[in-house]
Structure 1
């Protein structure tokens, strides 16, 4: 069993970004923790000091014991999207990414059979990002990279000016584990008259799903998947809105991708480049995800130790009318043989 959607940040690298107003710390009530970037703050009530210790710690803590309890063999350690920090100066981003990757690799070396690393990268400078990814994979043994979709104002990962970087990803033969940041980090919602999106945690708890859907559309309509046919991209949270609206995407292509904008493949063909994790919380949603995306392109992910972490592996094991072969694929084989193309 391979959990592709887990997060860990070594606390030793936090001082690099603290001067720029970025911090993750326990709340004053001792029962919650919060993340701050500039004047944007996100509170997670009820997570307690133990929650933050799992997110941002001096070591890997109780993860192995928790993995053993649930039969999970491997955690893929991703940086939290909250600290991607693409708005920082490029040199700061590069320093932070290098230190982050070094520390994660050091922790993994203590339990190399139980953890895989996913590189943090300074995507505000694509040349620096390519250099750090190459080092992280070749020197540190990282097996993937964790990236946001929106890199700066009006620039996304699917845009043609990212082609050289995406070619490096292809050449290194590692997957992209895509994860949006909160809309309030990407967009100045207050000055844009959209502060209402920050009520009830909508801009991140639900904004993630919007950006994930937009990312799949962007990679298809931009031609990025035609220019980079070897890309493998993991979309979290069950693919956002996509499984429920794949018919709308097909109609979108028929209506808008015509003439000079015509695309050479069908929506179904493009979707084979994507893998979708299982953070959906409901057996009906999980069944829909598998039915629409196919049992070969769904992978176990739980968002450990986030607010929505749940024992999704139990839903997978207990899902009616799903063959044992399909369950084995989703619980680990798809990740090992298809997404990461490695052996365990």
Structure 2
């Protein structure tokens, strides 16, 4: 069985919800306020309407199932695209969280054996986020909460104003999915100063590393020791710099509030193998261990590296842990009706 826990959904109801913030799908790319996610490649659409139609055509149940079957994926766990987290959008950020959760839940209800979802909440407003997380999990069936790494409109992950959010997640016993986002969106009309899409391409990994560092250093895992997090893109840079973070947490971060050595918190984290070379994946396995790895690929996104568990020296039992068993445990998934695929 193969469960991919890192996939994004854009539905018709998630687009064109605000006159300024959108989000809109335009010829130049997904557009939120002044920000557009685009490249210098020629546009693949002749109009904004065609660009939106092209995007939504890839997001239907039929299109997703076709690609899932081609890649042998039994279940996807869907989340809001990080460019549309709306932490910066004031009260609309709260409205949009409710919209997204309703849309994600409706999509998954059509084929619950193939789809589940991560909730969205506006962490720039922690009190409202707590209410929406509770609704998304208890009423709509969300399996956890997707967050944007750090900087929720000025509130950083270490900020104790977020403790009620972590407390709610611990109470519900659901994990966090961590996915960085385009911090250049805070530049407004100056977003073009983010050369080469750096706050997405490099910045996502920075955000994810900061989440790991800030959650530990801020003392959240001492206050809420059962809180679990899954960090995408193999943990950003956290796994690859784990020794440095561990040693310097004690030697150079005297204001850190963690009560135990940094490595003692590793059981609170899951990671994936979404890096671009088998040698790096082998390294992640050796550092993290197979009990804390899940399968996440940014399914249907900009790249496809094939089976992330192939060719890295795993036993069949360890491959199965990464491909499905750990995700079933982490997210408490019901896979009784899912179709079986040989590993």
Match of 1:170 in 2: 170
Equivalent of residue 216 in structure 2, options 212, 215, 220: 220
Q: Equivalents in 2 of 1:153, 1:140: separation in Å?
A: 26
Distance 1:243 1:151, change over 3 A: closer
1:322 aligns to 2:314 (yes or no): yes
1:66 aligns to 2:58 (yes or no): no
1:126 aligns to 2:118 (yes or no): no
1:176 CA displacement: 0.8
What are the superposed Cα offsets for residues 222-260 of structure 1, whole Å, 9 maximum, x if unpaired?
1111111111111111111122211111221221355x7
Equivalent of residue 284 in structure 2, options 289, 294, 313: 289
Match of 1:30 in 2: none
Is the 1:169–1:231 Cα contact (8 Å) retained in structure 2? yes
Is the 1:279–1:302 Cα contact (8 Å) retained in structure 2? yes
1:318 CA displacement: 2.6
1:20 CA displacement: 2.0
Equivalent of residue 236 in structure 2, options 226, 240, 255: 240
Is the 1:8–1:54 Cα contact (8 Å) retained in structure 2? no
Is the 1:81–1:180 Cα contact (8 Å) retained in structure 2? yes
Match of 2:340 in 1: none
Q: Equivalents in 1 of 2:43, 2:213: separation in Å?
A: 34
Distance 1:108 1:343, change over 3 A: closer
Deviates more, 1:45-54 or 1:277-286: 45-54
Structure 2: gaps (5+ residues)? 336-343
Match of 2:184 in 1: 184
The correspondence of residues 1-344 of structure 1 with structure 2, limited to 5 A, is 1-17=2-18, 19-27=19-27, 34-44=29-39, 45=41, 48=44, 56=56, 59-90=60-91, 92-186=92-186, 190=190, 195=193, 198-258=194-254, 261=256, 263-308=258-303, 310-312=304-306, 314-319=307-312, 321-337=313-329, 339-344=330-335
SS in structure 1 at match of 2:31: strand
1:40 CA displacement: 2.2
Distance 1:283 1:261, change over 3 A: closer
Distance 1:284 1:206, change over 3 A: same
What are the superposed Cα offsets for residues 98-145 of structure 1, whole Å, 9 maximum, x if unpaired?
122112211111100000011121222212111111111111111111
What are the superposed Cα offsets for residues 160-195 of structure 1, whole Å, 9 maximum, x if unpaired?
11111111111111111111211212456949xx93
Structure 1: gaps (5+ residues)? 28-32
Question: How does the TM-score come out when normalised to structure 2?
Answer: 0.87
Larger strand proportion, structure 1 or 2?
Answer: 1
Is the 1:54–1:60 Cα contact (8 Å) retained in structure 2? no
Is the 2:274–2:308 Cα contact (8 Å) retained in structure 1? no
Is the 1:77–1:116 Cα contact (8 Å) retained in structure 2? yes
What are the superposed Cα offsets for residues 71-110 of structure 1, whole Å, 9 maximum, x if unpaired?
21110011001101111122x2222221221122111111
Match of 2:338 in 1: none
Q: Equivalents in 1 of 2:275, 2:186: separation in Å?
A: 24
Q: Equivalents in 1 of 2:42, 2:62: separation in Å?
A: 19
Is the 2:205–2:236 Cα contact (8 Å) retained in structure 1? yes
Distance 1:70 1:54, change over 3 A: farther
Q: Equivalents in 2 of 1:8, 1:54: separation in Å?
A: 14
